[in-house]
Amino acid sequence: MKSQYVDELKSGQIVKEKFIISKKILKEKRDGGSFAILEFTDRSGSIEGIAWDNVVESLNVLSVGDFVFIAGTVTEYNDRLQITVNSAERISEDEIDPKDFLRQSDEDIDKVMTEINKFRAGVSNSYLKNLLDSFFDDKVFAEKFRLAPAAKRAHHAYLGGLAVHTLHILELMANIPSVYKSLDFDLLITAGILHDVGKIYEYTYTKKIDFSTRGKMLGHIIIGYEMVAEKIDRIPRFSQGLRAKLLHMIVSHHGEVEWGSPKQPMFLEALILHFIDNLDSKVEMMNEELRKNKGMGKEWSDYHPYLEREIYLREEI
């Protein structure tokens, strides 16, 4: 176990600890020397780092995603803590305890899965029910679904994040039929459960949360499409119309081409899935900023690259 975690570091503290390098940008100084802007991460969060000429050479052999042992001092720059790095050396994956780097959900994932399974049990269309069972009766799938993060960084970026995100979507969907009538609720719930299943292969999450090679090449929308299509095709007499609708919901759930969906949502259930998915991911991003900045006395967060804005942090005006 580590003895120093990012969220416990204080200005002036000496650091001698293991982290993952999550950012590395080499820059030239005006006088010709070079320096590096870095970011170090563990299960508790991330902190910026700065390394000057004396250390930059040792950083050349280090890449983003590497585990590293650094020695340095915590300093304050622009109201933020950062580590001024005195030395950095790569360490192997065998020298780390995954628990130090894999953030876990605060929620009890077994309970979350029980709730998801209640929604699953409520699906009455026998073909959709068969399809869901064919996923969740598979123990390997069910365990991966329980463990997977929903992202590397953007939202629910922790073990169990996929299950928590999926349950939020189902809970939000539960109220939809009382407002918007004549929807196919079974289709909505099935797509809610399956929309992000591709994430179980998009990420690796045994030692650290990262993109898998398949994830980088295909992304969870394409992987999820493949997984669902393959299962459907093993169910006799599954209607081609229903197949197309469910697969459309998977491919369109990000809503826009520039957000990774090859098609925009083209019917009501698909539109609703997209907006609920978007709602939950953005609420979680804002909540994460509030959590990260809690107790720091700041009025505004740093610019958030996914939300493309700063977040107002004060609880009282």
Binding site for Fe ion (CB under 5 A): 196, 277
Angle between helices 161-174 and 139-147 in degrees, nearest 10: 90
Q: Do the beta carbons of residue 160 and residue 112 sit within 8 Å?
A: yes
Q: What angle do CA 221, 225, 231 make, to 5 degrees?
A: 145
Q: What is the identity of the amino acid at 232?
A: I
Nearer to Fe ion, 83 or 223 (CB): 223
CB of 236 to Fe ion, least distance (A): 29
CB of 194 to Fe ion, least distance (A): 10
DSSP-assigned states of every residue in 77-133: ETTEEEEEEEEEEEE-GGGS-GGGT--B-SS-HHHHHHHHHHHHHT---HHHHHHHH
CB of 40 to Fe ion, least distance (A): 28
Distance from CA of residue 201 to its chain's centroid? Answer: 13
CA distance 186 to 188: 5
CB of 262 to Fe ion, least distance (A): 13
CB of 224 to Fe ion, least distance (A): 8
CA distance 61 to 42: 20
CB of 142 to Fe ion, least distance (A): 18
Nearer to Fe ion, 100 or 196 (CB): 196
Nearer to Fe ion, 151 or 242 (CB): 151
List phi, psi (to 5°) of 81: -80, 145
Nearer to Fe ion, 49 or 198 (CB): 198
Nearer to Fe ion, 231 or 253 (CB): 253
Nearer to Fe ion, 231 or 254 (CB): 254
